[in-house]
Amino acid sequence: MAAILSPTAAGLFRRVVLQSPPMFMANPSDWAATKGSLMLHSLGVPKDDVGEMRDVDVQSFLEAQTFMTTWPNFLEGLAPIGPSVDGTVLPTTLMEHFLHKALPKGYENLEIMIGFTRDEFNFFFPFLPNFQDMDDSMFVRTYFSHIFGHKNARRAYEIYRDQIVPPSSPPSEVARYMASDVMCRVSTLLTAENLARHGHKVWLYEWDYESNDVENIIKAAHMVDAIYSWDNLEYWVDNPFLGPGDDVERDQIAKQMSRAIVSFARSGDPDHPGIPHWPAYCQPGKETERDGMVFDQEVRVERNIYDHGLALWKTQLKEYVRNQLCPIKAKEETASLSSTTDDAAKDVSEPEGSSGKKRKIDAV
Q: What is the DSSP string of 194-259?
A: HHHHTT--EEEEEE------TTS--SSBTTHHHHHHTT-GGGGTT-TTT-S--HHHHHHHHHHHHH
**Predicted pLDDT of residue 63:** 85
Least confident interval from 77-81, 185-189, 196-200: 77-81
What is the residue type of 31? W
Q: State how far the alpha carbon of 285 is from the alpha carbons of 190, 277, 339, in Å.
A: 18, 19, 11
Task: Let me know: does 336 contact 330? Beta carbons within 8 Å.
Answer: yes
pLDDT in tens, 13-23: 899 999 998 76
**Which value, in Å, is the radius of gyration of the alpha carbons in the chain?**
20
Q: Which three-class secondary structure string do you get for 153-203?
A: HHHHHHHHHHHHCCCCCCHHHHHHHHHHHHHHHHHHHHHHHHHHHCCCCEE
pLDDT in tens, 117-146: 999 988 877 667 788 888 999 999 988 998
pTM: 0.84
344 pLDDT exceeds 70? Answer: no
Number of H helices, E strands in the chain: 14, 5
CB burial of 23-37 (b: ≥16 within 10 Å; e: otherwise) equals bbbbbeeebbeebbe
Least confident interval from 92-101, 149-158, 173-182: 92-101
Least confident interval from 153-157, 215-219, 266-270, 292-296: 215-219
Task: Let me know: does 263 contact 271? Beta carbons within 8 Å.
Answer: yes
